[in-house]
Structure 1
Amino acid sequence: MKTTDHILIIDLEATCWDSRPPRGQESEIIEIGVCVMDAKTGEISRNEGILVRPQYSKVSPFCTELTTITQKMLDEEGVLFDDALDILRAEYHSEHLTWASYGNYDLNMLQNQARRFNLDYPLSDSHINVKTLFGCVHPTIRKSVGMSRALGELNLKLEGTHHRGVDDAKNIAKILHWCLQNN
C-alpha cells in the first residue's frame, strides 16, 4: 500500500438521465468530490468539489434534481477533465496516497474516462472499497448497503447534500474511519 497516514477519499458525480442517455451522449464525470482524511483521527484536512465540464453530454433535469449541479454551473465554473486530473496530482498528491471510494463505481469511471480521453490515470493502485470493507467489518451487515444506510447503521448523520461529491466524500470518510477503528 501507499502512504496510509492520510487517505484520499473520492466521490464522483456524472451526467445521468432518468432512462437512456440521448443519442450521442454518454455518462461522464461532472464533479470530483475529494477530501483528505487522517487515518488515525478521522480528521478532514482538505475538502472540495472539482466541477468538470462534460465534453460529450449535457446535464439533464433529472441529473440536476439528483445532484443540484446544473449545466450553467459547469459552463461557468467547471474545468476540463484533464485539468481536474492535474489538480488531483498537484494539490492532493493522488498518485502517492492510498485512496478510497464507496464501491467500485468511482474507480471504474475514473479509469474508463481517463482511457477514453487518452489521459494518464491520476490515482495510485492502492484503493480501498469502503462499501465492501463496511460489509466485512460491521457486526450485523454482511451485504453491501448504500452510503446513506451505512451512516444510519452507525448512527451518523448524512451531512450536506447527498449525491454531491464534495459532501459525500466527507460522509464516506466517516464510514471509513469507523471501519479502520473497528477492524
Structure 2
Amino acid sequence: MSQPVPSDQTCINATRIWLEQAVIGLNLCPFAKAPYIKNQVRFAVSHARHLDSFLETLDQELQLLAASDANEIETTLLIEPMLFADFLLFNDMLDLAEAAVHDNNLDGIIQIAPFHPQFQFADTAADDMGNHTNRSPYPTLHLIREDSIAKATAAIADPAVIFEHNIALLHQMGRQGWEALAIPTDPRLPE
C-alpha cells in the first residue's frame, strides 16, 4: 500500500531543515544564508497530478518571481512531491523547465537549479557522496534571479571552487556524516 502524499507543511518543513542543516549549515551555497534569514525565500508546493499541470505551476512561479521585488522574494523553491519520484523522469523534465524559462521571456533573468532525493551527476555512481550537493528531501526546482547570482559571485575570485569544495567536503563527511544531519526524506522514495 502506498503512503499518502505529504502535506504542504511537511514538504516545507523538510526543505527548511535541508536548507538549514546542509545548504546553509555546511555552506554548500555561500549565498543562501542572507535571503533565508531575511525571509526572502518563497517555498511553493506543487499540487500537480500530471506534467502539464506542473509546467503551468512552474510558469506561474516564474512569472511571480520575475514580477516581485527581490527584497520581498529573492528566490523560489518549487517543491513537487507527487510526480517525479524517479530521478530519470525528473531529469527528463528539466529540458521542459528550461523551455519554460525561455517561453516566459526570462532568459538571462531567471535560471533553474535542480534538486532531487536521488540526484546523480553524469558519470558518477548513485552512491557517490558528491551527488548530495544536489540532493533534497523532495524533487525541487530552485528558481534563481541571475542578477542575484552575478552580485554574489562578484565577491568570489573563482566560483568554481565552491563546487569543488562541496564535493571534497561531502566525500570527507561520508554517508555517516550526512546521515547525522538528520535531513528528512520522502518515505515514499526508494533508498
For normalisation by structure 1, the TM-score amounts to 0.29
For normalisation by structure 2, the TM-score amounts to 0.29
Greater fraction strand? 1
